[in-house]
Amino acid sequence: MTQLNPSFEIPGYRIVRRLGFGGMASVHLAIQESLSRPVAIKILASERTPSDEIVRRFEHEARTIARLDHPHIVSIFDVGRTSSGQIYYTMPYLPNGDLSSRSLRDDPQRVLEIMQALADALGYAHDQGIVHRDVKPENVLFDKLDRPLLADFGIALSASHQPRVTREGATIGSSGYMSPEQARGQPLDGRSDFYSLGVVCYELLTGEMPFQGADSLAVALAHIEQPVPRLPVTRRAWQPLIDKALAKQPDARFQSAEELLAAINVLGKRLQTPPRMALSRWWLPQIERFIAIPRRTRALGLCLLIVLAFAGLVALLPQVPQRAAMSTNAPTAQASATDNTPTPPAPADAAPAPPSAISAAAAATSTTPASAGEIAQAAAPSSAPATSDEPVVAKPAPPDALLKQAADLLARGKLVTPEGDNAAARYLSILHDDPRQRDALRGVERLLALLAKQTSAAIAAGNADVAAALIPQGIELAERAKLADGRAYAAFRTSIRNAVEERRARRRDPFDVAALQPLLPLLPALTRLDAKQARAVQADLDRPASLLGAGGTFRDTDGPALVIVPSLLASSAQIERPFAISSGDITRGAYERFVDASGRGASPCRESQRLFARTDGLSWRNPGFAQADDHPVVCVSWDDADAYARWLSQRTGARYRLPDAREWLLLARPAGTGTACGSSNIARSSGAGARCDDGYAQTAPVGRFEPTTPGLYDIAGNVSQWIGGCARSGAAACTARSFRGLSWRDDDHESNLERVGTSAGNIGYASIGFRLVRELPVLPKSR
């Protein structure tokens, strides 16, 4: 790469060179000077004036990646604007290239590992309500440990926020990897990502795309119309996975990452254990070479092989009569033996006993729900009378009779109970004698589907005891029928997992333990079915108590990032209960969403509290200087801040409010006076401080300076903050509100802890913003 002289600067970063350039953005290698580490900076392209649509897409990408924390998803470090006003974000520098530069045709195990990592990453993103929509090799990067990381969520679709970034009916993405519904411009969900991942898998295995065409339109039509191509014979074990991933209809594909990962795990076991009739590694390439021979040459070769085989058969013909004679004498020799002669033991390769005898013996020792007595009772009575010197042996019912009984029990709802008199017992009895009996296997699959439906309904209704009894029965049924690695059992697990996730999603408040109590009886059964999900449910139950005791962070849906003030810290300041507070000031972007939703108008705004301060035309949209969405909102009145808190409370179900003076002082004390050089965004006025430039003439992005304990940004400097309550106690009507702390306008002659001001509640200022307290519930004491 040639050295680049960029037309922009980013404080704290030294641009080294440009790594790549696309239609939307350029990527640069830079050095983060504070940590002396290389980073990649993605910057919105400046060769042309970006449209609002492109800006929204870029900002959406940054916000999307910032929400995702997964070992196989590229993270971001920082978001901001360059000196020329371009939007950028920084991420790790990954020098090992992307997946498109690697050839893995001869390394199926590595393909399997990459598929597993990407499927897990997509499943995590889907759990967060995000669809990637552009899964392709160029968007899979490798870190220094050579781990694959999914990148470029620039066109990702969030379930909670789905802006139209294309015109109605238009498509977005890479045509070679588009799902049929994406090519048609239809609504998408996570199953579209699984389709794209299937295309990537096919390409890795073969070195070619499954669907090709003269242009992007032809390729898109091929995805819609053409059947799934066949893999080479050396990769035939992958075909079922490819067929399902590339199914034209989303309902026929993998329905979740768990289902896809289960299929990948099954495939991994098959690849590690070659099938009984598998050809050697040497012969398979020879067959492929033979297939590649021209048709005429191949036909001559086959004719020659046929002639040689016929000649060998003729050479063996004289030996046939002699062998036939030997075989005809064998019955005579056996017949000459008397009844009193003991029968010699059967050789190891002797033919098995008749089916009826095997069934009766198996029934007598069976551990399946259907005992020998039950099978004899279900069988038709024998017409042959029993003799006095022969024991009576109960004959098992034929498969057709058991299938009919199972269907009748199924229709009466007797799936797995009562014991011995249920459809599962009948199907398992058949499979005991013939493990591959097709109708019985289909019956078990129907049972698993019905059990999944009943279990999911019980979870949704809060009947955890019922669900806890049904789950082990489904597991045992699948294991006895040897279907634990099959699609029906995977669907059973997926259905129950989705029901549990829906139950978890009902809890809008992460501290609402009562909402999760109905899942508590499920944990033992859920551990057998899906240990990962069971751990997640248990963590949900344990997390509130641990957070309240030790502190931590969390976020309500649509709410700001919150820092929990531990019980011990709150009690030390004689605050009755623990609380959470937004880690930074409410941003301009967050306030704009509130205005768009509520229609609230702008309050009058003053430049400062000076007598002759400018007031004309100022508002939160235009405070007199440029702001980005990640800057703290200013020019909002106390009434505006209170209205925002009430609106957010309605959206989240939790109670948000402005902090009171005691809460604010508790959190501001660790920052001290807030006048140390480089510790906050304030105006420097004299002495050495005058030469300490923090880089911002007005507000800085929220979180640009180092946080204080327990993880708060800008508690000193940047903007002063509105305080809850009335500035003058005892008044019949509150006419004055207070604010605290230094702002970008204040100099180092004042102390952050002592800076207090008052104002009317309906006026905003260009130097005052706000942060919010989120009240926490009092949890029941553990027994």
pLDDT value for 339 = 42
Which candidate, 503, 498, 496, places its Cα nearest to that of 475? 496
**Cα separations in angstroms, 312 against 277, 299, 305, 603:** 25, 20, 11, 102
Residue 386 lies in a domain: no
- pLDDT mean over 634-641: 97
Same domain, 478 and 576: no
End-to-end CA distance of the chain: 65
- Those residues whose C-beta lies under 8 Å from the C-beta of residue 503, and which sit 6 or more positions away, are 459, 460, 516, 518, 519
Under a CB-based contact definition with an 8 Å cutoff, are residues 116 and 110 in contact? no
- 617 pLDDT more than 90: no
pLDDT value for 291 = 53
Residue 319's pLDDT band (cuts 50, 70, 90) = very low
| Weakest mean pLDDT among 6-20, 133-147, 203-217, 465-479 | 6-20
Same domain, 210 and 77: no
Classify burial at 24, counting beta carbons within 10 Å of its beta carbon; exposed 0-12, middle 13-18, buried 19 or more: middle
pLDDT value for 276 = 46
Between CA 213 and CA 194 the distance in angstroms is: 22
Query: Mean pLDDT highest for which of 28-32, 456-460, 599-603?
Result: 599-603
Residue 659 lies in a domain: yes
pLDDT value for 773 = 96
Which candidate, 446, 492, 494, 487, places its Cα nearest to that of 263? 487
Between CA 73 and CA 378 the distance in angstroms is: 58
Residue 406 lies in a domain: yes
Residue 318 lies in a domain: no
Residue 782 neighbours by CB distance under 10 Å: 6
Under a CB-based contact definition with an 8 Å cutoff, are residues 212 and 108 in contact? no
Same domain, 531 and 590: no
Same domain, 743 and 652: yes
Q: For the segment 700-759, what is each residue's pLDDT rounded down to a tens digit?
A: 999 888 888 778 999 999 999 999 999 887 667 888 999 999 999 888 888 899 999 999
Residue 330 lies in a domain: no
pLDDT value for 331 = 40
CATH, residue 704: 3.90.1580.10
Residue type present at position 20: G
Tokens 């008052």 sit on residue: 758
Residue 27 lies in a domain: yes
- pLDDT mean over 34-58: 72
Same domain, 116 and 86: no
The partner residues of 326 in beta bridges, in order of sequence, read none
Q: Which of 92, 123, 155 is the last residue of a domain?
A: 92
Between CA 552 and CA 564 the distance in angstroms is: 5
CATH, residue 53: 3.30.200.20
**Cα separations in angstroms, 323 against 53, 311, 318, 347:** 86, 20, 10, 21
pLDDT value for 309 = 64
Q: For the segment 139-167, what is each residue's pLDDT rounded down to a tens digit?
A: 899 988 888 999 887 555 544 444 333 33
Task: Give the burial string for 420-454 (b: 16+ CB within 10 Å, else e).
Answer: ebbbbbbbbbbbbbeeebeebbebbbbbbebbbeb
Under a CB-based contact definition with an 8 Å cutoff, are residues 187 and 197 in contact? no
Between CA 251 and CA 238 the distance in angstroms is: 20
Helix or strand run (H / E) with residue 196: helix 190-206
Residue 552 lies in a domain: no
**What's the helix, strand, coil split of the chain in %, to 5?**
45, 10, 45
Tokens of 653: 């179900």
Residue 209's pLDDT band (cuts 50, 70, 90) = very high
Same domain, 84 and 103: no
- 56 pLDDT more than 80: no
pLDDT value for 155 = 53
- 383 pLDDT more than 50: no
Prediction pTM value: 0.45
Between CA 279 and CA 287 the distance in angstroms is: 10
Residue 169 phi/psi, 5-degree rounding, is: 85, -10
Tokens of 298: 């191949």
Same domain, 223 and 142: yes
- 246 pLDDT more than 90: yes
pLDDT value for 159 = 46
Classify burial at 362, counting beta carbons within 10 Å of its beta carbon; exposed 0-12, middle 13-18, buried 19 or more: middle
| Max CA pair span of the chain | 130
Averaged pLDDT score across all residues of the chain: 78
Under a CB-based contact definition with an 8 Å cutoff, are residues 26 and 14 in contact? no
Which one is predicted more confidently, 228 or 282? Answer: 228
Same domain, 259 and 404: no
Same domain, 264 and 160: yes
- 633 pLDDT more than 70: yes
Under a CB-based contact definition with an 8 Å cutoff, are residues 563 and 551 in contact? yes
Under a CB-based contact definition with an 8 Å cutoff, are residues 123 and 80 in contact? no
Tokens 């049904």 sit on residue: 470
- Those residues whose C-beta lies under 8 Å from the C-beta of residue 282, and which sit 6 or more positions away, are none
- 579 pLDDT more than 50: yes
- 297 pLDDT more than 80: no
pLDDT value for 333 = 36
Which one is predicted more confidently, 368 or 427? Answer: 427
| Weakest mean pLDDT among 244-248, 354-358, 573-577, 643-647 | 354-358
pLDDT value for 280 = 43
The tally of CA atoms less than 13 A away on the side-chain side of residue 406 is 28
Strands 768-769 and 720-723, by their bridges, are parallel
Query: Mean pLDDT highest for which of 254-258, 343-347, 369-373, 554-558?
Result: 254-258
Which candidate, 444, 391, 394, 441, places its Cα nearest to that of 415? 444
Query: Which structural domain, as residue segments, surrounds residue 745?
Result: 561-775
Task: Give the burial string for 58-83 (b: 16+ CB within 10 Å, else e).
Answer: bbbbbbbbeebebebbbebebbbbbe
Same domain, 624 and 696: yes
- The percentage of residues in the chain with a pLDDT greater than 70, rounded to a whole number, is 74
> Could you tell me how many helices (H) and strands (E) the chain has, helices first?
23, 20
In three-state secondary structure terms, 712 is strand
Residue type present at position 555: R
How many folded domains does the chain comprise?
4
pLDDT value for 375 = 31
CATH, residue 218: 1.10.510.10
pLDDT value for 61 = 67
Residue 687 lies in a domain: yes
- 278 pLDDT more than 70: no
pLDDT value for 68 = 78
The partner residues of 28 in beta bridges, in order of sequence, read 18, 41
Residue 219 phi/psi, 5-degree rounding, is: -65, -45
Same domain, 267 and 367: no
Q: How far is CA 783 from the centre of its chain?
A: 35
Same domain, 640 and 574: yes
Q: Which of 76, 92, 108 is the last residue of a domain?
A: 92
Q: Which of 491, 513, 547 is the last residue of a domain?
A: 547
Strands 605-606 and 140-142, by their bridges, are unpaired
